[in-house]
Amino acid sequence: MSVHTWLFSRFSLRSRFSALIATLVFATTLLLGWVASRESAQQMEASIGTATAEAAYQMVDKLERNMDARIKEVKLLLGMQALTNDTRPGALRGQLERLQDNHDVVSWIGFTDPEGTVQAATGGILEGVSIAQRPVFIEGRKALWIGDVHEAVLLAQLLPNPSGEALKFVDIATPVYDRNRELQGVLAVHLSWEWAEYIQHSMFSPTKQRQDTEMLLLSTDGTVLLGPETLMGQSLASLDHLPGPATTSPQWAIETWPNGEQFVTGYARSDGYEDFPGLGWIAISRKPVSIAFAPMEQLQAAIMGIGILLALLFAMIGWAIASRMVTPLTRLASAADQIQEGEQADCIPLENGSPEMKRLSTSMRNMVSRLLDQRQTINRLEDLANTDPLTGLPNRAFLNQYLQLAIPEAERNQQSMVVMYIDLDGFKRVNDELGHHAGDLLLIEITQRLKNALRSGDVVARLGGDEFVMVLKTKQEYLEMLTHEVSRRLLTAIAQPILLPENKRAHVGCSLGAAWWPHHGLHIETVLQLADSALYAAKNKGKHQLVIHKP
């Protein structure tokens, strides 16, 4: 029987009936609540998801528009006469610095010659230094080029950095031609990534106060460019619903993040805006599921509360109805308990409350009467099956049942057992000379002597003929002492003459074989075999002695 079945069986019929009513009401309430809230819950979920996707789209749209404005500014720089006519570094530098002063997001502007050496730059930084191997020159000499977010390499130690954090830039580069379409150099602009952080914070501040929404920006390979400190620089390419390059429309999903927490997550991938071709950035807006769907959970909790109240109300009504139904059954059960304690079968009441109860009580009275008769018969048969008819000792069947129960009890009490086989020496001679009747009388007398040698709680059984077995319980340290003590008493008691009818006397002895459980074997069947083998060893050594099994 399983634990659940056992627990259920402990409840009365009245309790089960009440529980059934409460369960039906509760299930019905849940079903109706589910039907009523399903559509609204789906609409709420879609609305919340769409809002997160919209927030991600707004962020990437602002970033794209801002980049487009920077590109247009760089194109305006191409119209500077100083770039094509006045090649003096001082004049170029002054012009570039005036432009930088008008744009806070510009960290550095430089102009190189066709070989990649910086001719003029804001603040004089990197002037005379070759950047021919840098992507900003290699790509910029071909056409207008926008580089993705990266940390500063050459400029890291040269530009002011009050925050102490790693400087990050977005590069814009374009070739500069003279009127004859000959390459004069490359104009390179480093935009500080702080402008993107400003856009992020401008969107994030209202939600940050509620501490429920976070905004992130990923590069095209899934690396976090903007977001919580714990995620900066990590790759989120493993997210299941991250949009691919071909997906440009905003979308949302319930996403399981690397830390195992679930978020309602909105995605929007950059696909460019006017002059800005786009760098494949992915804006993400995320909100914990527990917070995002809290209104839905509140609705479900309200429905659940109403269901519980209705279930309790109807359970009380069911309890009252069930009480009236089970009262006759309770009286019949009490009467059956009294019969079990020894009273007569006519104590079962005759219930007339309904035809079914009247029939049940009458059938119970007849059944109990027959059961009592059968119990008496079974008890007599069990006594006959487990008892030796001649000596009244337990037989082999009883011994097997006893050992099955004795082993677990001995283990609980940390006890050991002595199993001792007893075989009479000279019993066949008494049967042959004095007859089987005399042999039976001798066995009866030997049985009494065996009982006198036992302690309280020990067992002796007759296996058949003149063979007996004793089972003695004791602590492990007393095994050997008890075995020798009992065997000494048995050898002495059985060797005494036995007076038979007609003043005849008989003399028999006994051979003893013993084994110990669990010292000689963990299985009691093994110990029985070892004790039997020790008995044969005692007979072979001259009889009338004890042999204890030695491994």
- What's the gap between Cα 477 and its chain centre? 46
Q: CA quadruple 56, 62, 68, 73: dihedral positive or negative?
A: negative
pTM for this predicted structure: 0.43
Output the tens digit of pLDDT for each of the chain's 551 residues.
Answer: 555 555 556 666 666 666 776 677 667 766 766 666 666 667 777 777 777 777 777 777 777 777 777 667 666 666 554 455 555 666 677 767 776 666 666 677 788 888 888 878 877 777 778 888 888 788 778 887 777 666 655 555 555 554 445 456 577 788 888 777 788 788 887 776 665 565 556 655 554 444 577 777 777 777 776 677 777 777 777 787 778 777 777 888 878 877 788 888 888 787 776 766 666 777 777 878 777 777 666 766 776 677 677 767 766 776 777 666 667 767 777 777 776 666 555 567 777 766 777 777 677 777 776 766 666 666 666 666 677 878 888 888 888 888 888 889 888 989 999 999 999 888 888 888 888 888 888 888 888 888 888 887 788 898 888 899 999 999 989 989 999 999 999 999 988 888 887 778 888 889 999 999 999 998 989 999 999 999 999 999 888 899 999 88
Q: Which two tokens stand for residue 443?
A: 């066995």
| Paired strand residues for 120 | 111
Domains 196-294 and 396-548 share a fold: no
Which fold is adopted by the domain 396-548?
Answer: Alpha-Beta Plaits (3.30.70)
Query: Could you tell me the CATH superfamily of domain 69-189?
Result: PAS domain (3.30.450.20)
CB atoms within 10 A of CB 265: 28
Q: What is each CA distance from 201 to 216, 308, 357, in whole angstroms? A: 11, 46, 79
- Domain spans of the chain, in order of start: 69-189, 196-294, 344-386, 396-548
CB atoms within 10 A of CB 15: 16
Task: Report d(CA 35, CA 515) in Å as an integer.
Answer: 74
CATH number for 196-294 (one of 2.160.20.60, 3.40.190.10, 3.40.50.300, 3.30.450.20): it is 3.30.450.20
Q: Are 473 and 436 in contact (CB under 8 A)?
A: no
Q: Which two tokens stand for residue 326?
A: 């089970």
Task: Report d(CA 463, CA 461) in Å as an integer.
Answer: 6
Q: Are 275 and 143 in contact (CB under 8 A)?
A: no
Looking at residue 533, its amino acid is S
At residue 209, the pLDDT reads 47
**CA proximity to 184, closest of 81, 96, 76, 70:** 81
CB atoms within 10 A of CB 405: 9
Task: Report d(CA 25, CA 307) in Å as an integer.
Answer: 7
Q: Are 531 and 537 in contact (CB under 8 A)?
A: no
CA angle 325, 331, 333 (to 5 degrees): 100
